Each structure stands twice: as structure tokens, then as C-alpha cells.
Amino acid sequence: MAKYDESSIKTLSSLEHIRLRSGMYVGRLGDGSNFEDGIYILVKEIVDNSIDEFIMGHGKKIEIKRSDDGTITIRDYGRGIPLGKLKDAVSQINTGAKYNDDVFQFSVGLNGVGTKAVNALSEHFHAVSFRDGAWAEAVFAQGVLQKEKKGKTGTHKDGTYIQFRPDHTLFGEYQYNEEFLLQRMWNYAYLNAGLTIAYNGETIRSDGGLKDLLTAEVGDEGLYGIAHHRDERLEFALTHTTSYGETYFSFVNGQYTSDGGTHQSAFREGILKGVNEYYKKNFAGEDVREGIAGAIAIRLKDPQFEGQTKNKLGNSDVRGWIVNAVRTAVNDFLHRNKDAAKKLETKITQNEKLRKELNAVRKESREAARKVALKIPKLKDCKFHLGDRDPRGEKSTIFITEGDSATGSMVASRDVYSQAIFSLRGKPQNVYAKKRSEIYRNEELYNMMIALGIEDEISGLRYNRIVITTDADHDGFHIRNLLLTFFLQYFEELAVAGHIYILETPLFRVRNKAQTRYCYSEAERDTALAEVRGAEVTRFKGLGEISPKEFGQFIGEDMRIVPVNVKSIKSIQPTLEFYMGKNTPQRREFIMENLI
């Protein structure tokens, strides 16, 4: 056992601390396959500074470029960093103007760490500031200053130029997902009406703000024209669709809060109060909000986020003014739009009727389940989950798998404190275009909902990550599609909020006496065979063929999970109809044309 005495106590420099504990500054590292991976957080931290300049009325354009080698270049036309403090502002912790409320009032990164973290986590970092006909630059490698210069020029407009390339020694073989970057750019545009972003030659701009965001998400699915309100601190947009559940896009000072928070809760409450005030009724919240699609953005001087990646707002003092502002604006919208008011009332009364029918079905299902067993069938729960305020809540995971053999290997190799397993018995029902009541009458689907904690309210979700885990064969892919159909049809907000994933497990094992390589594709297998001499190849036909000892590494810290991303709400139904509907001839034609 290591000796614990005075020599064990270490003091790290701020640079050493950022590089050693990078997760505290950018969340997960990742390889770029997840929207929240560190390489996107680095981009966000720099762009946020340029957005702050725009918010303060300085600079209406931001130019962003991405090179094939992973280098990101960002140029804004704000005030520029004061030249004499450029080096310190991009490299010294606790140095910056974000601590001055007179200069920055609505910034996301008020701790003044973001740019320094990008610098420390980049193998190349180049900063240039232009102010009043002069300039200063500083170049760093892994946070260490390489050179700095100053000079005068009359040709460059004021502003800041930042170029960086994430450090491969930390992030590994990462790759930017163009869709993720474009989504972030469009979010910036929606949240900052009038801002122009030039990204790799593409112009991204929104004059309608969150109304444009909701239009892009909902399309023609809206039951009435989008309600839109905007003032200095609050902007929101909402409409209703024929979809199930509630879907929200919430932001604080430009930060997308995928897990919502107090501002989103106040938004929901304000909608209910505004609707009931207009109709002079006492409608239930679930009836008013069923099928809603909404977006809200607020600006705060001192936002308090839960977690380093700022996915959830914790400020309790925002409730009152948000509720009142939303209530008044919703009431006013309904008074000014009588046709929308009629359509909404019809939607609410339909929701009320369906809820009562569904409650009766839920009651029957509960009673039937109690007769079968006191425990949830086929659930191997973890010792802590979100409902228990698990300190490792972000890692709280439930694997939905098939068959007893695969389940056995996973149960034996899982982390019992954060990983639960629910085992399906055969293929689940194709629920596309079926009534919601039918999923409660289906014993297997109902048991799965109980295991997840969403049989009554989606807010009861017991795990942060729902990971679909099936064999890499035709039957496994079919089960995966059936499960995705279930979630996207009835619980689309789980996908929108980033809770649903697909586990990748290896198809091949290539090994000799000296080494073992696991391969996730035929190309990886061929490469391994060329590099591992005298190797034997094992093809894993199913998850059950992977031993518990091996399986542990595939669901451990470095497990490969692919997030299920929803490009837009309006794309869900057409996609489900094509793949899971009754258009068999068109689907067969598509498969034949794309068969490799």
C-alpha cells in the first residue's frame, strides 16, 4: 500500500490541474461522437466570448472555420481583448473582465476559466487581439507560451482572433461531427437575432429568434401559429403538435440546458396559469401541456448551473418573474389570436378525455402487474439511481437487452452501483401508429416503463442513460428499431434531451499469444489481421457469446455508446412511417437500392 504522509500532498499549478483534471473543466473528453464531448465544449467556450461581445452591442458577425486536421479558427469583431493583458487573459486563471459586472452582464462563463481551459487542452493555441489600430498576439502549446508579439496596423478591424487544435494526447483520435457543429451554430443564431455567423462558407442567421427555432423543429406539425414573446431578459416560443409528451428547448445565457432546470419549470407553470386565466378554467397541467413544443431562453447575471457542463439551471429566484411574464404573454397571445385559442381549447379537451381513458388502462395494468409479481420482472437494478440522488447520477445507466445469456454476462460484469439491466423476453411489439393505451396493455412494454420509472410521468425517469443493447445481427437490429419506435413515438422528449443511446460491441476478436484486439467492423478486423501475426479470429454472433470477463471492458469507463439524436421534431413521424409503417413496397425498394 502506498505511504500516506507529507510527501503525498501535492500542489498543482492551474495549468497542471486543468490538464490532469480536464473533466472538471470540459466534462467528458470523448472522441466527437457525442454532442457533449469535450472538443465541442472547447469550441463553445471560445464562441461564447464572441457572443458576449455581440450581446453587449459590439460586433454583429463571427467567422468560424474548421480544418480537416481539427483546427478551429474563430474571429469576431467586438472590442478585442486589451492588448497589454492578452497573454494573461488567455492563460492565467482568475484573470479576465468576466468578473466586472459593468463590462459583462449576461455571460455564461462568469468564472473566467473557459478560454484558459481551451488553451491548456490544446496542442496549438494562437490568440490575436486587434484594438485601435494596434495588435498583440500570443502562441501556446499545451498551455505553455511559445512566443508573443505586438505591433501596429491600420488594416484590421477591432476584435479577437483565436485558433486552436485540441490536444491529441488528451482527446485521442477525435473527429468533429459536422451536424453537431451546425446545430450549435444555429442555436447561437436563434438565440441572438441579428447575429451573422459565417461557418466554413455558410451563412447562418436568424431574425425571428426562438420562433425560427421552433419553426425549424416543428415545421407543419404545429396545430396553430407559434406564440412568441421577447423582452430584455426572457424569450419564449410555443405551439402544440399531435405528438405525445412535452418537448422543450431551454437556454440560459446562450447555454443549451438539455436537462432543463428552474427556468423550464417556471415556463411550464406560466403556460398553465396563462391558459387557465384566459379560459377561466382549472385545466390540469398535463392536459394543457400534452403535445406541447416550446423553447425558452433567459439571461441572468449570476446563473448557477448543476454540473460543470451546465446542463441544468439551479437558480430558485427566477421562478416568480418567469411565471408572471409567461402567464401574461400567453394570456395576451390567446386574446389576440382567437383561432389559435379555439384550436388549443379543442386540444386540451381531447387531452383531458384521453388522459381519463389512459388512467383507467393504467389502473388495470397496475393491478395485473401486482398479481404477477411484487418486483419488476427481468430488472436487475443498481444500488443507486437518480431517484436516490445518486452522486454519480450522470453515469446512472440502464441497459435494455435481449435474452438470458446476454443478460447473464452483463450482470456478472457490470458496475452494480450505477448500471441496471432490463431483459426483454422476445421481440417487443411494433407500436407505430397505435394508441397510447395499447402500450400499457402490453405486459412487456409496461414492465419496461415501470423499470424506467416513466409509467406515470416522464419526470420519474430513474436513470440518466437508457442504452439499447442488442445482437449485431438482423434480429438484433430489428429489436433495436422496435425499441427506437417505442421511444420516439411516445417518449420523444427522452431522445431530444439526450437520454437514449445504442451500445456498440465488437464483432470480432483477433488474438495471438501476445495480444488481443477487438474489432467493431470488417475493416478493423482486416487491419488487425495484418498487424497481429499468427492470429486467430473469433466472430461474435451474439452478446451471449462474450464472456463476463470480456464484457466488463465493453460496458466500463470506455464503453462505446452512440447517442440517438433527433435532427428535428418534424422528422420523427415521416421517418417512423417510412421504416415502421405499412409502405412495404417503397421500403423494400429502398433496401434493395442501398444494399451493400
Among 204, 239, 259, identify where a domain stops. 204
- Residues in Cβ contact with 284 at an 8 Å cutoff, skipping those fewer than 6 apart: 352, 355
At residue 15 the predicted structure's pLDDT band, cuts being 50, 70 and 90, is confident
pLDDT at 376 over 90: no
Q: Does residue 370 lie within any of the structural domains?
A: no
Where a domain ends, among 355, 386, 406?
355
8 inside domain: no
421/280 same-domain check: no
Q: How many residues does the chain have?
A: 596
* Of the residues 176, 204, 232, the one at which a domain ends: 204
pLDDT bucket at 103, cuts 50 / 70 / 90: very low
- H or E stretch at 530: helix 522-531
* Residue 527 sits in the same domain as residue 556: no
Report which of residues 35 and 142 the model is more confident about: 142
Question: Quick check: is 338 in a domain?
Answer: yes
Are 141 and 223 in the same domain?
A: no
Report the pLDDT value the prediction gives residue 112, as an integer from 0 to 100.
45
Q: What is the pLDDT of residues 567-576, one digit of tens each?
A: 778 878 877 8
With CA atoms as reference, report the closest residue to 459 among 519, 386, 516: 386
* Of 45-49, 271-275, 544-548, highest mean pLDDT: 271-275
Please report whether residue 1 resides in a domain.
no
Question: Are 157 and 36 found together in one domain?
Answer: yes
| Banded pLDDT at 129 (limits 50, 70, 90) | very high
Lowest mean pLDDT: which of 213-217, 350-354, 498-502, 558-562?
558-562
CATH number of the domain to which 350 belongs: 3.30.230.10
If asked whether residues 484 and 520 sit together in one domain, one would say no
pLDDT of residue 587: 66
Query: At residue 344, what are phi and psi to the nearest 5 degrees?
Result: -70, -40
Label residue 295 by pLDDT band (50, 70, 90).
Answer: very high
Quote the pLDDT of residue 595.
Answer: 56
Which CATH number goes with the domain that contains 393? Answer: 3.40.50.670
Instruction: For the chain, give the percent of residues with pLDDT over 70.
Output: 89
The structural domain count of the chain equals 4
Question: Does one domain contain both 290 and 381?
Answer: no
In this structure, is residue 586 part of a structural domain?
no
The β-bridge partners of 235 are 230, 297
Residues 177 and 216 placed together within one structural domain of the fold: no
Let me know whether 73 and 194 are in one domain.
Answer: yes
DSSP string of 446-496, one letter each residue: HHHHHHHT-SS-GGG---SEEEE---SSHHHHHHHHHHHHHHHHH-HHHHH
Nearest to 567 by CA among 42, 44, 178, 72: 178
pLDDT higher than 90, residue 63 = yes
Residue 27 lies inside a defined structural domain of this protein = yes
Structural domain contains residue 596: no
Decide if pLDDT at 404 tops 50.
yes
For residue 583, being part of any structural domain is answered with: no
pLDDT of 336-373, one tens digit each?
Answer: 999 999 999 999 999 999 888 888 887 777 776 665 55
Q: Does residue 186 sit in the same domain as residue 78?
A: yes
Pair 405, 347 in one domain: no
Residues 244 and 344 in one domain: yes
Output the pLDDT for position 593.
67
Instruction: Give the domain range for residue 512.
Output: 508-539
Indicate the average pLDDT of the chain.
86
426-463 pLDDT per residue, tens: 788 888 888 888 888 888 899 899 999 998 888 888 89
Please check whether residues 23 and 117 belong to one and the same domain.
Answer: yes
Cell of 218: 416543428
